[in-house]
Amino acid sequence: MHSQSGQESAPFELLIAIVIMTFVIVIGFNALDKLNTETCRGKVNQGLEEMRTAIEAVVKNKSKANVSYELPGCFREEDAKLTIIDSDTPAPEYSESKCLRISAATSFSVDAGTCNINMLEQPEGYGITDWKKPETGILPGQYTLIRQSNLFSSAPVICAFRRAG
């Protein structure tokens, strides 16, 4: 013979189990969302670090470098902008920033004449782009960075060529 009180407590125990299971599922989804956010930030940080390293290498070694800047799928291009600013410029709110260890006199030229000094040919399929344009910033894409030599100035001049298409 079954106990009457055991049958009466079964629905209550089932309700408690459902509440606990729902709580565990909600916590699990929140943890997964947090993990995805941190993974995305890690990808952005890695991309910024690669970009910083390439810029510093070009300025220091008077050479050229290929670099890619892509936003991970978790960021919308409309919501993100990569810009190079001077340290004394009032900065807007940033979610991530990197300090470039280059001379403050370094310039990013968009002048075709400057960027073709010494018969330097523009990389095929690439167009010169303005990395200091604050309205758009640096657009996602494949870039070739080339340091130009200038006999009249010791300040580094960097030309950024972006792959078309």
Q: What is the mean pLDDT of the chain?
A: 80
How far out from the chain centre does Cα 54 lie? 14
Contacts of 160 (CB under 8 A, 6+ apart): 108, 128, 129, 130, 131, 138, 143, 144, 145
pLDDT digits (tens, 9 = 90+) for 58-69: 988 877 889 988
pTM, entire model: 0.72
pLDDT digits (tens, 9 = 90+) for 93-136: 556 777 888 887 888 887 777 776 544 556 677 788 888 777 77
Radius of gyration of the chain (CA): 27
Pseudo-torsion of CA 120, 126, 131, 133, nearest 10°?
A: 120
pLDDT of residue 157 exceeding 80: yes
- Helix (H) / strand (E) element for 25: namely helix 4-61
Cα(106)–Cα(101) distance, integer angstroms: 11
Q: What is the number of other CB atoms lying within 10 angstroms of the CB of residue 142?
A: 17
Structure tokens at 91: 């900065």
* DSSP E strand stretches across the chain: 64-69, 107-109, 126-129, 141-148, 157-163
pLDDT of residue 152 exceeding 50: yes
Cα(46)–Cα(96) distance, integer angstroms: 11
Share of the chain above pLDDT 90, in %: 21
